[in-house]
Copies of this chain bind each other. A is one copy, B any other.
Amino acid sequence: MSTFGFEISATDNAARRGRVTTAHGSFETPAFAATATAATVKAMMPENARSTGAELALCNTYHLMLRPGAERVAALGGLHHFMNWQGPILTDSGGYQVMSLSDLRDLTEEGVTFKSHLDGSRHELTPAKAMEIQHQLGSDITMCLDECTPFPATEEEAALSMRRSMRWALLCKDAFRPRAGHALFGINQGGVYPALREESADALKKIGFDGYAIGGLEVGEGQESMFRMIEATAPHLPLDKPRYLMGVGKPLDIVGAVVRGVDMFDCVMPTRSGRTGQAFTRRGTLNMRNARHMSDPRSLDEQCPCPACAHYSRAYLHHLFRAEEILGPMLLTWHNLRFYQDLMRGLRQAIGEGRLKAFAADFAARQAEGDIEPGDQKDRALG
């Protein structure tokens, strides 16, 4: 079993290219995790999700503790065996979903008690309990229990919330059982207040973690604020540990965050969008339900090697979504994951070659171009 580690192989200004090693193999950074909320990447066979380039899976503690239950997953051999995922798994602490999904939350200094959104059963999540559950799940990267500070929040509210999360972070560190190749990440909070973000980074650094997450963003503050908060945080985190921006984001959010020194990402966007008919392409997003695709023989993205693009027309994808056929979500999830992983590959390569700035500018320009209309003969000839 290998030791948990992070090796940086190249930097480009604040951006870094590297590799994180865990008990279940390694993943290259900047990395985008495949979201596997309930121990499945929705609408994907795990081997197909991996084939897109996703090396890290993210599972949600809140969902799994309620169903099928962490003890049951442990008895069945842990998450990797349960869901047939051979690579590294990161689990969140469950705190975020408790706040957003459960009924009758009661948040105190000790933790949070809540009622399950599934059956109303009563549960408790404390820093120690969050560590225990993630241990039972067998995750390679365990996240501290924190409170995702709501947005908007006054500076005082954000400070109180962040400081409690920092006290919880210390309790998590104490409760976490170190094992070779298994990591515990702290989570930076502080709302949209740079001084609080810096205070939080210092508090986490003092406790000492294997990696550092930036939490409480992509909650309505906007891209500009998000980038400012990364700039207020990243320079205060240890250079030699991975940095993880939780729940982010849109392709251009990711590019901007990588430029600012972030190494890891997760977001439901590619998988969730894939199920509703939204496709990410080099020229921006498309809605495959739109009638303009109804008779279009072209592939979704002629540069993409995924099955949706290699073997099917836009007209067929449109048909699948109109007919509410499961193959629509299957193909579009595959495509979107592939698009995100291709973006990460491009970012890693650009950092390695010291041309991240040009890559980022080119990517943004292409995204802004928008899709070519079906009637454009030049594109048809290229397609």
Contact = CB atoms under 8 A, between A and B. Distances in A.
Residue among A43, A45, A307, A319 facing the most chain B CB atoms (10 A cut-off): A319
Contacts of A323: 38, 40, 63, 67
A312 B47 CA distance: 13
Interface string A50-92: 0000000000000100011000100111000011100000000
B330 A295 contact: no
Interface in A281-339: 294-295, 297, 307, 311-313, 315-316, 318-320, 322-323, 325-327, 329-330
A318 to B, nearest CB: 8
Given A67-B323, A294-B68, A311-B84, A330 B43 contact: yes
B82 A316 contact: yes
Given A72-B294, A72-B295, A297-B76, A43 B313 contact: no
A313 to B, nearest CB: 6
Contacts of A39: 316, 319
Most chain B CB within 10 A, of A44, A68, A311, A327, is at: A327
A297 B75 CA distance: 9
A42 interface: yes
Interface string A262-298: 0000000000000100000000000000000011010
A193 B382 CA distance: 61
Contacts of A67: 319, 322-323
A379 to B, nearest CB: 18
Contact of A327 (B40, B76, B325): B40
Interface of A: 38-45, 63, 67-68, 72, 75-77, 82-84, 275, 294-295, 297, 307, 311-313, 315-316, 318-320, 322-323, 325-327, 329-330
